[in-house]
Each structure stands twice: as C-alpha cells, then as structure tokens.
Amino acid sequence: MTASLASLFITPIMFSRLAGLLMLLPLCLAVSVVYKTIKIEDLRKVPAAVVASWFTIVGGMLAIGVSIYALYYLCA
Amino acid sequence: MTRTPRKSAPAAIRLPLIAVLAWAVPGAGHLAIGQRSRGVILLITIALTFWTGVAVGGVKNTVNPHERTLWFLGQVCAGVHPFLAMAWGSGFEVPEDALRSDYIAYGQSEEIAVVYTAIAGMLNLLVILDVLGRAEKMAYAQPHATAAGGGRL
C-alpha cells in the first residue's frame, strides 16, 4: 500500500493535449477554495461561493481563449 | 466557572511566529489563532495542490532550484512541502538501466507539475497575509486572545 502510494509520486504522468488542458479545472478549483476560504467569514457560505468562483474563472478563461482564437483567425 | 487568563506573547513576537508557522505548514497559522475549520481546509487544499503537481511531474525533478530558479521562488512559499519533495527526490536514485522519462517529466507534464506546485506556494502566500491580518485584528480587539480561547500563540 505504502509502496504503491510512493510510486504514484515517482513515475511522472503523461498527458495528451486535451487531458493537459483539463488539468486546469482542479487547479482553478484549488484557487477558488483557498481564495473564498480566506475571503468569506461564514464558512457555511464557502461551498456555494467556491462553485460560483470556479465557474467564473473557467468561463472567463474560456471566453478569453475563444476571443484570442477568433481574433487570430480574423487577422490571419 | 471562571477561566484564569493566560498571558499571551506580545504581538511583536506572536505575529512573526504565526507568519513562520503559516509559511512552514500551510494552514497551521489559522489553526494557531483558533480558526480550526478554515485552517484544515487551507491545509488540505494547499497540500493536495502541491502533491498533485509532484505526482504529475515525479518527485525527482519537479522541485529543482538549479534548473528552475524563478519557479522555485514560487514553490518555496509552500513551506515544508518543496523541501520534503526535494529531500525525497535527491535521496531517490534512478536505476541505471531505466529510461530517463520513467522518472523525469518533460513537455506538458513538466509544465503542469511546475505550475501546480508554484501556484500552491502562491496560494500559501495569500494565506500567510490573511492569517497575519486576522492575528493583528485579534491582537487589537482582544489583547489576551488566548484567554478567551482564541488560540495558542
């Protein structure tokens, strides 16, 4: 059990391009959790705020990505 | 039943102590000032983020101050975690007949690993600033915070 857990950290994980992009989602979740946990006094309100914040970050990044792609496409 | 007030350390000592504790173990600063739930959430989230990065990139090369000095400045904000990863990675010998890519990430995996670990450090920087703000507020509002069950430091 300990050895298999240790091997998880020894061998790197290879990602496809799409899977690599999807790794953005848990990172955004971590940022949302930490930010909302320190920002909101009442911890019962944190989960809802985290979900809203996560959607805002991911949606915002998608919108920026699509806009830049569209701009690139128009200029090319 | 009345509680005997315990004398707490002066703010000039307490605040740096809390800052060092918050840096060393992310979330421990909040635990020290008595905000247990908040501290546990931060402790788990930052540790999980950092070690997810290490799992993606492998412990051998994810934290590497010689090759990625600027990223290391971000990683080092995560307290003991990067040092544990470095100690583990330097103590671990790659077998001679093994492929380098079996132990050292490259390309997208390397980038994801470094970004995860550095962001864990940056998040801890936010946590340190937050706990200092809270501790200072408590020190002004309640000189003997520990007497009221505020915290240990």
pLDDT digits (tens, 9 = 90+) for A60-73: 999 999 999 999 99
Residue A37 lies in a domain: yes
Are A46 and A36 in contact by the 8 Å Cβ rule? The answer is: yes
- Residue B35 amino acid letter: Q
Comparison of pLDDT for B41 and B11, the residue scoring more: B41
What is the SS3 string spanning A33-50? HHHHHHHCCCHHHHHHHH
Model ipTM?
Answer: 0.89
Indicate the pTM of the whole model: 0.86
- Do the Cβ atoms of B127 and A34 come within 8 Å? yes
Residue A12 lies in a domain: no
b/e code B13-52 from CB counts within 10 Å (16+ = b):
ebbeebbebbbebbbbbbbbbbbeebbebbbebbbbbbbb
With bands split at pLDDT 50, 70 and 90, how would you rate the model's confidence at B78?
very high
Q: Distance between CA B59 and CA B70 in Å, rounded?
A: 18
User: Domain range spanning residue A63?
Assistant: 18-75
Mean pLDDT of chain B: 86
Q: Distance between CA B113 and CA B140 in Å, rounded?
A: 41
Q: Say what the pLDDT of residue B143 is.
A: 56
Q: Among A12, A31, A35, select the one facing B56 at the smallest CB separation.
A: A12
Does A52 score more than 70 pLDDT? yes
Q: Distance between CA A30 and CA B48 in Å, rounded?
A: 9
Chain B residues whose beta carbon lies within 8 Å of the beta carbon of residue A18: none
With bands split at pLDDT 50, 70 and 90, how would you rate the model's confidence at B2?
low
Q: Among B37, B88, B109, select the one facing A12 at the smallest CB separation.
A: B109
Residue A65 lies in a domain: yes
Q: Say what the pLDDT of residue B148 is.
A: 47
What is the SS3 string spanning B38-71? HHHHHHHHHHHHHHHHHHHHCCCCCCCCCCCHHH
Comparison of pLDDT for A29 and B150, the residue scoring more: A29
Chain A residues whose beta carbon lies within 8 Å of the beta carbon of residue B49: 27, 30
Q: What are B95's two structure tokens? A: 């077998």
CB count in 10 Å sphere of residue B4:
5
Comparison of pLDDT for B112 and A8, the residue scoring more: B112
Q: Say what the pLDDT of residue B147 is.
A: 47
Q: What is the mean pLDDT of residues B46-75?
A: 93
Counting the structural domains of chain A, the total is: 1
Does B152 score more than 70 pLDDT? no
